[in-house]
Amino acid sequence: MREAPVIAIVDDDESFREALERFLGTFAFRVRTFASGEEFLESSELRFVACLLLDVAMPGMTGLEVKQQLRARGLGIPTVFVTAHADDEVTQHLVAAGAIAILPKPVDQQMLLHLVQRVVGEQ
């Protein structure tokens, strides 16, 4: 039997992380949460992550900086950025960094589920 895909959630908002973890967990994903980009980048599970849900604006490293660090390490993890503050310039940078989607907060959970399922090949 194949192991469930790992979905990583990186967001400094604890209630947001927990809500998404509960929601995605009901669909048999293995969900890992991280309070910061630094914490995520130090994780031993990076190579197992099938999809990354990444906040744009966080204290310390921004979501864009996390994505750039992943690229520098040769890790092309499919990434959905979530943000409460997206303007055209930020959106352009995120798309250039390889975002598969940019979702506004509060996140439409059904849209997020559809994206994650598409990324991990479950649809």
With 90 as the cut, is the pLDDT of residue 75 above it? yes
CATH number of the 6-116 domain = 3.40.50.2300
With 70 as the cut, is the pLDDT of residue 123 above it? no
Task: Return the amino acid letter for 53.
Answer: L
pLDDT at 122: 62
With 60 as the cut, is the pLDDT of residue 18 above it? yes
Distance CA 94, CA 88 (A): 10
Distance CA 117, CA 29 (A): 10
With 60 as the cut, is the pLDDT of residue 1 above it? no
Q: What is the pTM of this model?
A: 0.93
Higher pLDDT, 121 or 114: 114
When pLDDT is averaged across residues 53-77 and rounded to a whole number, the result is 95
When pLDDT is averaged across residues 6-26 and rounded to a whole number, the result is 96
Residue 42, Cβ neighbours under 10 Å: how many? 10
Tell me the pLDDT tens digit for each residue of 23-41: 999 998 999 999 999 999 9
pLDDT at 108: 94
3-state helix, strand, coil in the chain (%, to 5): 40, 25, 35
- In the chain, where are the structural domains located? 6-116
